[in-house]
Amino acid sequence: MRSRLFKNRLILLKFMNGAKRPILSLSKGLFWLYAIFRSMYIKVFVTPGAKKELVERTSDTQFEISVREPAERNLANRRVVQLIAREFSLPEGKVRIISGHRSGSKMLSVDV
C-alpha cells in the first residue's frame, strides 16, 4: 500500500486481488475509485433541464447529476464538469469528459 498527501487528504493506493490497476481511496472513506496512474474514472448519469441542481452519489464510482442548463451548445456538459470539480475540490481543468458527450450517460476522467 502506498499513500500520499493531496489537498490535506490522505490518498491510499491499493492493489486489490490481482487487479492490474490500483484502487484510489480518500481517507474520509466516502468512495473508492478506479485509478490508472494519476487519473481516475467515474460514471455519471445526467438529467439536463431540471428544476433543481442535484449531485447524488449512487455507488462508489457512479454519480447521478441533475443540472438546470439545457442539453444544447455544450451547456449541460460544462456544468457537469464544474459540479464534479467542486465535489472533488479540484480546478475544472482537471476534469474532462471522455465519452458520452451527446448522451446522458458519461464517463469522466479526474486528474489527481
Output DSSP code: residue 22. Answer: P
- pLDDT-above-90 percentage for the chain: 54
Domain boundaries along the sequence of the chain: 2-36, 39-111
Higher pLDDT: 88 or 35? It is 88
pLDDT digits (tens, 9 = 90+) for 3-41: 444 444 444 444 444 444 544 444 444 444 444 456 788
Q: Name which residue leads in pLDDT, 38 or 88.
A: 88
Query: Considering only the top CATH level, what class is 39-111?
Result: alpha beta
pLDDT at position 29 is 42
By percentage, how much of the chain surpasses pLDDT 70?
Answer: 66
pTM exceeds 0.75: no
DSSP count for the chain of H helices, then E strands: 1, 9
Which residue spans within 1-112 are E strands per DSSP? 2-6, 9-14, 23-26, 32-36, 39-47, 54-59, 62-66, 95-99, 105-111
